[in-house]
Structure 1
Amino acid sequence: MNINKNTIADIRQFNRFYTNILGLFDKHILDTGYSFTEARVLLEIGLLEQCIANNLVDKLKIDRSYMSRIIAKLSKDGLVIKENSTLDSRTSLIRLTPKGMTLFNQINEKSDEQLVRLFQGLSQNEIKEIHASMMFIQKKLDSLGRI
């Protein structure tokens, strides 16, 4: 399949636009002191409640050694704890500590506030259109199995 060069340019421009709006390249996302990737790992652990590093590697498509360094940093900072699995002693379960849960909640709140500010000034209909477009894009790309 051949995609028009103008279409590719427009999609890439949108990607740059949206990542800039969300501040994904800021050194510390949402004033947390953590990078986007570190915060994303923390969020995934919080959403899963407990997991193993391999689940995170697969879900976030992050290199295993990089994931290991992120988990080590989050552990050192007292945000996550690793415990041996009762089912398999070779496996470590990762979960948030109370301090990690506090940061998890803070990131969620700040992310929600960021979106409220982003859509401020738009009508309910415009917000619904943007939401529907985002869900359409997600559904189409997800159906390809590449996400």
Structure 2
Amino acid sequence: MPHEALVHEIRRFNRFYTGLVGLLDETLMQSPYTLAEARMLFELGRKPRPGGRAGLLARMFHLDLAPVASELAGELDLAPAYLMRVLRQFAATGLVEMREDPENGPPVLALTERGKAALADLEAATNRDLARLTVKLGDRQAAELSDALSRVTRLLAAAGM
């Protein structure tokens, strides 16, 4: 298959899938969070991030979020300034907080109980929607879809994507 045709097929699939799961909606899963914000919550829920050892004034203005923003921005391929604004918003709304690392390392940025609850709600809504998409698939079709997704992941990862 010529690469132009492959690019066309990938774009066609992307349009189909993003419409199917609502990724182009203003917010994700009728939540107050955009897709990028939901990804940030997920990453922070997966593992707390080391923050800086800033002084009291810097902590008051959330300036110690810079190391976290820089690391997450690279992982999520987002602009650090945008990520920093969202992290500040998360802190102001009680979703994240800086905590002392229990192992005496630098303070870490982690989800609060409120942040964990928001993430759990997002994950439950996502799981419900994906289950709704696949509920009519028989066992063979589900296995075929799983194999196809694994194959796409493997092929694109091997191509350096």
- TM above 0.5, yes or no, is yes
Give the alignment of 1:110-125 within 5 angstroms.
110-125=125-140
Classify the secondary structure of the residue corresponding to 1:30: coil
Partner of 1:81: 97
Deviation at 1:77, TM superposition (A): 1.5
- Number of residue-to-residue matches in the alignment: 141
Partner of 2:74: 58
With a CA cutoff of 8 Å and minimum separation of 6, indicate the structure with the bigger relative contact order: 2
Classify the secondary structure of the residue corresponding to 2:110: strand
Tell me, yes or no, if the aligned pair for 1:28 and 1:34 is still in contact at 8 Å.
yes
Match for residue 105 of structure 1 among 111, 120, 145? 120
Deviation at 1:83, TM superposition (A): 4.0
Matched to 1:24, the amino acid is L
Deviation at 1:13, TM superposition (A): 0.6
Cα RMSD, aligned residues only = 1.9
Matched to 2:159, the amino acid is L
Match for residue 133 of structure 1 among 148, 152, 159? 148
Alignment partners' CA distance in 2, 1:5 and 1:97: 47
Alignment partners' CA distance in 2, 1:112 and 1:103: 14
Greater Rg, structure 1 or structure 2?
A: 2
Deviation at 1:34, TM superposition (A): 0.9
Deviation at 1:76, TM superposition (A): 1.5
User: Deviations 1:16-44 (Å, cap 9, x if unpaired)?
Assistant: 11111111111111111111111111011
Structure 2 gaps, min length 5:
50-67
Deviation at 1:82, TM superposition (A): 2.6
Alignment partners' CA distance in 1, 2:45 and 2:159: 27
Structure 1 gaps, min length 5:
none
